[in-house]
Chain A
Amino acid sequence: AQRVTQPEKLLSVFKGAPVELKCNYSYSGSPELFWYVQYSRQRLQLLLRHISRESIKGFTADLNKGETSFHLKKPFAQEEDSAMYYCALLTGGGNKLTFGTGTQLKVEL
Chain B
Amino acid sequence: GAVVSQHPSWVICKSGTSVKIECRSLDFQATTMFWYRQFPKQSLMLMATSNEGSKATYEQGVEKDKFLINHASLTLSTLTVTSAHPEDSSFYICSARFSGANVLTFGAGSRLTVL
In the complex, A90→B95 CA distance in Å? 14
Given A95-B32, A99-B44, do A49 and B103 touch, yes or no (CB 8 Å)?
Answer: yes
**27 interchain pairs, CB-CB under 8 A:** A36-B106, A42-B108, A43-B106, A43-B107, A43-B108, A43-B109, A44-B95, A44-B106, A46-B103, A46-B104, A46-B105, A49-B102, A86-B43, A86-B44, A90-B102, A94-B97, A94-B102, A95-B32, A95-B49, A97-B34, A97-B95, A97-B104, A98-B46, A99-B44, A99-B45, A100-B43, A102-B43
Interface secondary structure of A, over-half rule: strand
Q: How many residue-residue contacts, CB under 8 A, span A and B?
A: 42
In the complex, A33→B85 CA distance in Å? 35
Asked if B42 is at the interface of the complex by the 8 Å CB criterion, the answer is: yes
| Residue contact A96 to B49, C-beta cutoff 8 Å | yes
Q: Which residues of B contact A69 (CB under 8 A)?
A: none
B: residues with CB less than 8 A from A are 32, 34, 42-46, 49, 57, 93, 95, 97, 102-109
Q: Across the interface, name the chain B residue whose C-beta is closest to A93.
A: B102
Interface range on chain A: under 10, 10 to 19, 20 to 34, or 35 or more? 20 to 34
**Closest CB-CB distance, A1 to chain B, in whole Å?**
10
Q: Across the interface, name the chain A residue whose C-beta is closest to B97.
A: A94
Q: Across the interface, name the chain B residue whose C-beta is closest to A97.
A: B104
Q: Across the interface, name the chain B residue whose C-beta is closest to A44.
A: B106
Closest 9 CB pairs of A and B: A44-B106, A43-B108, A101-B43, A99-B44, A99-B43, A94-B102, A43-B106, A95-B49, A102-B43
**Closest CB-CB distance, B35 to chain A, in whole Å?**
12
In the complex, A33→B103 CA distance in Å? 10
Asked if A26 is at the interface of the complex by the 8 Å CB criterion, the answer is: no
**Closest CB-CB distance, A32 to chain B, in whole Å?**
6
| Residue contact B108 to A101, C-beta cutoff 8 Å | no
Asked if A45 is at the interface of the complex by the 8 Å CB criterion, the answer is: yes
| Residue contact A101 to B42, C-beta cutoff 8 Å | yes
